[in-house]
Structure formats: structure tokens, C-alpha cells
Amino acid sequence: MQSVDVPVALLGYGTVGAAVHRLLAEQGDEIERATGHRLRVVRALVRDPSRGRGFDPGARVLTTDVREVLDDPSIRLVAEVMGGVEPAGDHVLSLLRSGRSVVTANKQLVARHGPELFAAAAAGGAQLRFEASVCAAIPVIKVLRESLVVTNVHRVLGIVNGTTNFMLSAMSDGQSYAEALAEAQRLGYAEADPTDDVGGLDAAAKMAILATVAFGSRVPLDWVEVQGIDALREEHVEAARGLDMRVKLLGRATLAHGRVDVRVGPAFVDAHHPLAAVDGPFNAVMLQGDAIREITLEGPGAGGIETASAVVADLVSIVGTTGTGFLQGDPVWRQVERMPPGELSSLWYLRVLVEDRAGVLARLAQELAVEGVSVARLVQQPANGHAVLHVVTHEAPAGRVEAALAAIRALPESRGEATALPVVSERGVEELGWA
């Protein structure tokens, strides 16, 4: 079989871009044997060509002029690894409309502008692939779109942000929030400005993409209910440990009765649950559907080489399936409604700070009962002249729980601190107790 030379351009040449170039160069023989194509990086768009790089791009590869990519008819395949919505979005749209296929690792771009991007790809007869935008080296998009195409997936549950998972693992080992964040930044898992990670925005974009692909219906980013770990306290981690649970930042997408609910936030995960054991900068995604019951995919979710491996896999898929590739089309084929935000039910952990005096427990139970929230476990602990109440409830809608907490915060005996976190467990609530 005669090898076909494929000129490739990179939009961006930071950590991920350099790693993509290195993999294409070092694994070129293997790629050629598998596909009959030799992928060769000929242009890389950068802001500052003089900056040091993790891999030598070679002579005349770096450019600051995007027109050298857009106007070169020999470049039919581009990897966008520059990040940000603009100008990356304009560049990608121009390429797709002109018939050039694009692989992107840009979660915000795909989550915010998916319809426009897929329309451009269809108009230009090009492919858009985005595996690296979600869980780096974990091929969850490919599994959802190809292996599970007739499975009727109705739930996606996962740890989709390696930075926060690393931090929460460190906090479970006794570090403070500040110490865990500093360590994550020192090791390169967290950016100097970690807002998107700790605020849950990174995970929200990934869950919007996963829900869209899993359910075949567009899930806009603003449908995702988001809570980060930046308001989490060490006391929550300690309470989870006492309940034989772990605190994790979870993404949860549920399709029920033609309506979808997608949310990101900290949760108490039963130590017996598969996600509880996922520590450090790792991701894991559980897919539940009619034909498969449950599949869990786990692997590294952060890092340049891990993301680059997913980018290269998509590049290889494009050159190996041009004209017949399953992923050429928009994954959306239907329209489902958004579930009202407070309707999804869960087990809950409640932490309430109150005055330590008679009658308070009865008042608390009364406010919960008014909203139909049933208490399964309750433990009271002294705290500097007050009392901390740790409550595990039976399954209840989120809106009911929040209404009960609002009433509890307004009680004269309340010290104003009443928070709720969902509990994820495959055991019955009666089996959950204090260690």
C-alpha cells in the first residue's frame, strides 16, 4: 500500500500542541502502518514564535499569521489546541466551511457553539471531532457514539475534572483547601487562575457535551446547574469520612420521561461506590443504559500528553475513515425538554449549625417534614457552644430540600449555616451509617 502524505496544521503550540507534534513524529511509522497515511505537521499558529517549546517544531513551521493555514489548500486536516472561544471559534468555522476537517480539545467552544460548528462541518463536507474536549485520554465520546449507539443511555455520572479530584483527594488525606490548591498548582494540575476548575465551569462544559452526545439532544451550557468546590469546607470532608464516604465533584446527567437534568457539584459518594476509589488527577465516567446496565471508563483526565493522545487518535480516525466516518454528523437527532431544576430526586446529606438547646431537633424535623423530606440518619456533635447536626435523608427532590433548608436557616435557633450535598450510593440508605 502506497503511503499518502497528509499535511497537518496546529492552531496553538503550547503543552498540548507540542505533545501532539511529538506523538505524530515519534509514532509516525505506527500511524502509517495502521492507516496508510503519514501525518506531517507543516504549520503551527502561535502568538510568540520566540518562546521555548516542549518539542522542536522545525524550521518555518511556526507562524503568527492564521492566513498561512487558512489559505494553504494543501492543509486538509487541522488540530485546534489553542483554547478560548475566540479567536479559535472563528478559525475553526472558517476551516470547516472550506472543507477542512478539524479536531479540537476545546470544551468551551464545543459546549457553547456546537450547533454552529456542526452546521459548518456539514456545509463543507468536513469532519469535526472532539474526544479530547471531555476526558483527555478516556475515549468516552467514541464509546457513546459508536459502541453504545443503540443502547439508550439514560444516565451519565462521572468525575470529569482532574484538578478538583486531585484537590479533594488531598483534602481527604488531611490537607486544607488552600494547601491542596497550592499543591495542584505546583504540580501543574491547576492553572494560576483556577476559577474554571474549582468553580465547576470546566466540568459543566464537559457535562453539556456528554449529555448532548449521550442523549442525542442539544444540551446548552446554561442548562447545567453548577456548584464548585470553592465553597466546600474541611468540615464536609471530615463528615464524609465519618459516614464512610468521600467528597467528589460529580457531573450528573439524567434523562427521564423525555426530560433532561444536568448538574455539576460536590457530592458525598459512598466508599463502596466505584467512583469513591478514583483518586488524584484521574477521571471516571459511568454510563447507564437499557442494554448495558452500566459501564465505567477510567483514566488520566489531566495533562498535556494525555490530551494530545486523544487529539492524535481523532486525527488518525479522520484519515482512516474519510468519506465513511461515523462521526461526520451532528450527534443531535431529537429534542428533549429540560427538567425543572428542583425536580430531580436524590439522597441528601445536610449539615446544619444550631444552638445547643432542647427542642431544636424537633423544629428541624418539623421543617423537613413540611417539605416531605424524611430523615434516615441524624448525628449531633458539639461545636463551640453550638451543635452541628449531620443528617442523611431518604430520597427527596432537590427543590423540596432547598425549601426546607431555607426555612431552617430562618429559625431563631439556626446559626445560618445549613447546606445540602447529594449522596451517591448503590446501597440502601439504611446501610449508610457513622463509622
For the annotated catalytic residues, the residue numbers are 206
Distance, CA of 326 to CA of 340 (rounded, Å): 33
| Residue from 418, 322, 308, 317 nearest 363 by CA | 418
Task: Write b or e for each residue in 121-132: b if 16 or more Cβ atoms lie within 10 A of its Cβ, otherwise e.
Answer: beebebbbbbbb
Q: What is the DSSP string of 141-203?
A: HHIIIIITTTS-EEEEEEE--HHHHHHHHHHHTT--HHHHHHHHHHTTSS-SS-HHHHTTHHH
Identify which of 70, 71, 66, 98 has the alpha carbon closest to the alpha carbon of residue 82: 66
**Please, are residues 52 and 77 in contact by the beta-carbon 8 Å criterion?**
no
- CA 13, 75, 84: angle at the middle one, nearest 5? 35
Name the phi and psi angles at 211, rounded to 5: -65, -40
DSSP designation for 303: -
Unique residue bearing C-alpha cell 457535562 = 207
Whole-number Å distance between alpha carbons of 393 and 423: 9
Can you say how many angstroms the Cα of residue 147 is from the centroid of all Cα atoms in its chain? 20
Rounded to whole angstroms, how far apart are CA atoms 44 and 140?
Answer: 28
Residue given cell 458539639 in the structure block:
382
CA separation, residue 31 to residues 6, 39, 149, 417 (Å): 12, 8, 27, 57
Helices and strands (DSSP H and E) totals, the chain: 15, 17
Locus of grid cell 479567536: 87
Q: Which residue type occupies 243? A: L
Which residues does 240 contact at the CB level (< 8 Å), separation at least 6? 172, 246, 247, 268, 349
